[in-house]
Amino acid sequence: MKIAFYDTKDYDKLWFEPLAKEYGYDVVFYESRFVSDTAILANGCDAACLFVNDVIDEKSINMLYDMGVKVILLRCAGYDNIDLKACEGKITVLRVPSYSPTAVAEYAAAMMLTLNRKIHKAYTRTREFNFKISGLMGITLRGKVAGVIGTGKIGKVMIEILKGFGMQILAFDPYPDTSLDVEYVALDELLKRSDVITLHCPLSPDTRYIINKNSISKMKDGVILVNTSRGGLVDTQALIDGLRAGKFMGVALDVYEEEDEYFFEDRSNDIIQDNELIKLMAYPNVLITSHQAFFTSEALEAIARTTLENLKAFEEGRPLENEVTLQGK
C-alpha cells in the first residue's frame, strides 16, 4: 500500500521511514500541510497520513475518496480537526490513541516546576552573568493541593508524579476510575481548593472552554494552571482577563486555541497577527511552548508503529481497535 505523508518534519522520518520498509509500505513524504488545495498530492495513494493541525473538511475528504484513498491515518490522538460525518461510508479513520502518556505527564510536571521556580528566567539571567535571585521566588509544592482534570492514561501518570512531590491530589472526571487512590470531587470544588490545576482531558463539546470566565473566578488567587492537552479547553480571552486581574501565579501552555498557524513552524521573522497570542507572550508569568509534550524518541517510535499497525490491520481485514467514527465519538 502507498501512503501520502503530509506536514513532514525531519523527525517524522526517524521512525516512519525504516518501519514503513519493514511493513512493506511505500511512503511519499510531503512538507505541505493537508488542506483541500494539497489533497491532490495523495492521488495514487491508498492512505493519507495526517497530523493534529491538518484541516480535514468535507471538501478534502471527498477529494480523497474520489482519488481512491481508503484510509486516513491520524498520527495523533486528537480528532476534532476531522469531519467524521463526511467520512461515513467513504473513508476509514484510524488514530493513535495513546503513544506516550508518561512523556506528556513528565512534560506537564516540568512546565509546572519551571513556572513555579522561574527556572527559565534564571537561565536567561545567568547566561548574561546576572546572578541576582530577586523575583525568582516560588512556592514549596509538598503539602499543596493539585487538581487533575481528566484521569485517563496521562492523568494517571501525572497523579503518580504529583504524589511523589507530596502533594494532595483532587481529581475530576465524568467517568471516575475507582481503582485510583485519589479523591474525586466536583469540578467546582477542585477549582476552589487547588493550588495547581493541570488539564489532561480530550477536547469535546463537553470540555471545550472548561476553563472559562466562570471557572477562573472560582479558582484560588495565585493558582498555577498547566495545559498540555488541547488548546480549546481554555477560553483564551477569559485567561487573558484573569492574568490581567492578577488571578494566576503562573500559566503554562504547551497548546493554544489558535495554534494551527504557528506551532511546529518557524515564524520568528514574521509579523504575528494573532493579538491574543501576543498578549499572552507579554505576561512574565506565562510560559508557552510549541506542543512538544509528546516529543520523545520513545513516543515517536510508538506513533510510527501504531500508525503502520493500524494500516496493516485495515489491509488484512482485522478488527480496527483504533478506528474513529461519528458514533464512537
Tell whether 323 is covered by a domain: no
Question: How much of the chain exceeds pLDDT 90, in percent?
Answer: 89
| Same structural domain, 74 and 128 | no
Q: What is the pLDDT of residue 260?
A: 75
Tell whether 145 is covered by a domain: yes
Give me 6's grid cell: 503530509
Q: What is the pLDDT of residue 160?
A: 98
For the segment 29-40, the average pLDDT, to the nearest whole number, is 95
Of 111, 158, 152, which is closest to residue 290 (Cα–Cα)? 111
By DSSP bridging, strand 71-74 and strand 183-184 are unpaired
Q: Which residues are catalytic?
A: 230, 259, 291
Q: How far apart are CA 162 and CA 296, in angstroms?
A: 21
CA dihedral 316→319→325→328, nearest 10 degrees, is: -170
Q: 15 lies in which domain range?
A: 2-99+297-315
Final residue of a structural domain among 252, 271, 288: 288
| Same structural domain, 90 and 215 | no
Q: Where are the alpha helices (DSSP H) in 167-270?
A: 187-193, 213-218, 236-244
| Same structural domain, 52 and 182 | no
| Same structural domain, 131 and 222 | yes
User: pTM, whole model, 2 decimals?
Assistant: 0.89
pLDDT tier at 329, thresholds 50, 70, 90: low
Cα angle 268, 82, 155; round to 5: 75
Give me 51's grid cell: 497530523
Question: How much of the chain exceeds pLDDT 70, in percent?
Answer: 99
| Same structural domain, 80 and 111 | no
| Same structural domain, 106 and 95 | no
| Same structural domain, 235 and 153 | yes
* E strands in 55-129: 71-74, 92-94
Q: Per DSSP, what are the bridge partners of residue 286?
A: 251
Tell whether 320 is covered by a domain: no
102 neighbors 160 (Cβ within 8 angstroms): no
Q: How far apart are CA 27 and CA 62, in angstroms?
A: 22
Of 23-27, 93-97, 158-162, 324-328, least confident by mean pLDDT is 324-328
- For the segment 234-270, what is each residue's pLDDT rounded down to a tens digit? 999 999 999 999 999 999 999 999 887 788 888 889 8
> From the CB of residue 189, how many other CB atoms can be counted at a distance below 10 Å?
15
| Same structural domain, 88 and 29 | yes
| Same structural domain, 81 and 117 | no
CA dihedral 88→95→267→287, nearest 10 degrees, is: 120
Q: Per DSSP, what are the bridge partners of residue 168?
A: 145
Phi/psi-derived region of residue 24, left when phi > 0, alpha when psi is between -120 and 50, beta in every other case: left
Counted domains in the chain: 2
Q: How far apart are CA 38 and CA 27, in angstroms?
A: 16
- Output the average pLDDT for the chain: 95
Q: How far apart are CA 282 and CA 198, in angstroms?
A: 22
289 neighbors 111 (Cβ within 8 angstroms): yes
At 101, give phi and psi (nearest 5°).
-55, -35
Tell whether 322 is covered by a domain: no
Tell whether 329 is covered by a domain: no
By DSSP bridging, strand 92-94 and strand 71-74 are parallel
Tell whether 259 is covered by a domain: yes
6's CB contacts (< 8 A; 6+ apart) are 30, 32, 33, 34, 38, 41, 48, 49, 50, 51, 54
Tell whether 28 is covered by a domain: yes
At 104, give phi and psi (nearest 5°).
-65, -45
- For the segment 7-21, what is each residue's pLDDT rounded down to a tens digit? 999 999 999 999 999
Tell whether 155 is covered by a domain: yes
Question: Which CATH number characterizes residue 142's domain?
Answer: 3.40.50.720
| Same structural domain, 94 and 184 | no
pLDDT tier at 225, thresholds 50, 70, 90: very high
- For the segment 263-305, what is each residue's pLDDT rounded down to a tens digit? 888 888 989 999 999 999 999 999 999 999 999 999 999 999 9
Count, residues in the chain: 329
Q: What is the pLDDT of residue 8?
A: 95
| First CA to last CA distance, the chain | 28
| Same structural domain, 112 and 56 | no
| Same structural domain, 253 and 176 | yes
